[in-house]
Structure 1
């Protein structure tokens, strides 16, 4: 990965100037997209640098503004405007928008050929992206090559200090787009993991920082993984991080062939935390009843259970534009306490009681029965794990 700052520090680009959005100069860049129409904005990809001469805009600066806004909305890393006969100048409204959103906006003089910029920037990105990261090929091979040679990987891991008689687990951390933040997060997570695990091995894949940890404790118990995560969060908060990354750990496994399973489990925990951060579950081991659902081999039975329990309520909401499904989830979360539900939904207690009766009528269930609560909770747990 590399940043806009690194790309535009190349001496070949010295005539290209940053005119707005300087606060975002450390955004990650993964590609370059030359486009000449705001109608093609749907093809913009995350972390791409958008380049345009405006040849198809017929001097319509409204279309240019639309392109800039769409590029920002689609998480492009920035935009280069080749000023000249088609875009004589960059309007102040666009400069103001880019500054406000910390969206880097560059002015490239007409004399600088777009083809030259494209060639040089793409060559640089390919050089950076093909540069191997320290020791990461082993973990990437284990996780993403289904045909990896087990004995070869054992040999490679042994070179890195992993004993043959050990247990492995995967830790996944979702990284933000800002490269400086990525570096801080990886450094702090590495520190915390190395404090508690004998050996680690890491790689970066897309927006994930992935760490293989040696979980064999040699008689010394490891702290709970939630404690490790809380330690990471505490350190990040001291650096004024307002948004904390999602971090999760899969189960421990003895065989290298099961490491991919640990990775998939960590992703499931992240998926659950994205929906329900308040659960504060960071380890697959702590998923409780969710593990029973994930371990079920017949997914059709699981899906049928969800439909049988909640299907009627979903259909009623769809036909009558009501919100009984979301209300029911809150009812279960608050264990039927009407005062809490009333406060959470900003509705009168009598309305709460009416909705309870209505749901009981639709589902033909008594909501205050423990068996009913368990049945409904399990259906919502199935829903939580759907992608």
Structure 2
């Protein structure tokens, strides 16, 4: 599972965390460019939101309203870039992000672009999902395979950082795959739970 902490650790040029450190463990499902309302029609829970203060669609007051609305919809973090770095983020917005434990990032105008951030976040999420799938496939084969010897289990498990020397508590999540009107959203929810289980 990728979190805001992983985004921070990417150390992208021009990106800094300025508030909401307590929420760095929020899981990130993808990135979301803040544009038009209603946000609920465009974003998914866990999206990392990117907002440009362009003084046309968004000034700081409107950006804070968007941040709060998106927080209610379940964003993992909020990143702000200010056109030509004209102003610093108001203390009111910083304080509110801290209250919400919502990671608030500042992106220098001449620093990383939203494309860079989206690509970097997308890359680590996809790499994580590939590793999850490999691990999941291996555990599935262990569960349902026949005549698997202990030596094989010990050797292959170590490649996944798994050992069976200590008993583990197992949790099972059942995801209902009945599809509703929004097939993409339903599939996204299923993948989110599958990744969480892995």
- TM range, normalised to the smaller chain? 0.5 to 0.7
Gaps of 5+ in 2: 150-166, 176-190
Q: Does the alignment pair 1:123 with 2:130?
A: no
Compute the RMSD of aligned alpha carbons. Answer: 3.5
The residue that corresponds to 1:206 in the other structure is: 192
In the aligned structure 2, how far is the partner of 1:160 from the partner of 1:74? 46
Provide, for residues 334-378 of structure 1, a one-character-per-residue CA deviation record: whole Å limited to 9, x for no partner.
xxxxxxxxxxxxxxxxxxxxxxxxxxxxxxxxxxxxxxxxxxxxx
Q: Is the 8 A contact 2:30 2:122 kept in 1?
A: yes
Whichever of the two has the greater Rg, that structure is: 1
In the aligned structure 2, how far is the partner of 1:24 from the partner of 1:155? 35
CA shift, 1:206, in A, is: 2.8
Greater helix percent: which structure? 1
SS in 2 for 1:81: strand
Gaps of 5+ in 1: 141-152, 162-189, 194-199, 212-387
In the aligned structure 2, how far is the partner of 1:64 from the partner of 1:202? 36
TM-score, normalization by structure 2: 0.67
TM-score, normalization by structure 1: 0.37
Q: Is the 8 A contact 1:35 1:52 kept in 2?
A: yes
The residue that corresponds to 2:168 in the other structure is: 191
Q: Does the alignment pair 1:28 with 2:14?
A: no
The residue that corresponds to 2:137 in the other structure is: 137
1:155/1:139 Cα in 2 relative to 1: closer, same or farther (>3 Å)?
A: closer
Provide, for residues 89-117 of structure 1, a one-character-per-residue CA deviation record: whole Å limited to 9, x for no partner.
31212111110110000000000222222
> RCO higher in 1 or 2 (8 Å CA, sep ≥ 6)?
2
1:104/1:31 Cα in 2 relative to 1: closer, same or farther (>3 Å)?
A: same
The residue that corresponds to 2:73 in the other structure is: 74
Provide, for residues 279-320 of structure 1, a one-character-per-residue CA deviation record: whole Å limited to 9, x for no partner.
xxxxxxxxxxxxxxxxxxxxxxxxxxxxxxxxxxxxxxxxxx
**Count of aligned pairs:** 163
Stretch deviating more after TM superposition (124-133 or 70-79):
124-133
